[in-house]
Amino acid sequence: MKRKMLITLTLLYCTVIGFAAIIADIGGQWTGSIVGPDGSDIALNYTFKVDGDKLTGTAFAQGIEIKLDSGKMSGDDITFKITNPEGIVIPHVGKYFANGDSISMNITYQDYKFHSTLKRANK
How do residues 7-62 score in pLDDT, each as one tens digit?
554 554 444 444 444 444 799 999 999 998 889 999 999 999 999 999 999 999 99
Each residue's pLDDT tens digit, 63-107: 999 999 999 999 999 999 999 999 999 999 999 998 888 999 999
Question: At residue 122, does pLDDT exceed 90?
Answer: no
Looking at the DSSP bridge assignments, the partners of residue 103 are 96, 118
Q: Which residues contact 72 (CB under 8 A, 6 or more apart)?
A: 53, 54, 55, 78, 79, 80
Binning pLDDT at 50, 70 and 90, where does residue 116 land? Answer: very high
Q: Which structural domains are found in the chain, ordered by start?
A: 2-120 (2.40.128.120)
DSSP state string for 8-74: HHHHHHHHHHHHHHHHHHT-EEEEEEEE-TTS-EEEEEEEEEEETTEEEEEEEETTEEEE-EEEEEE
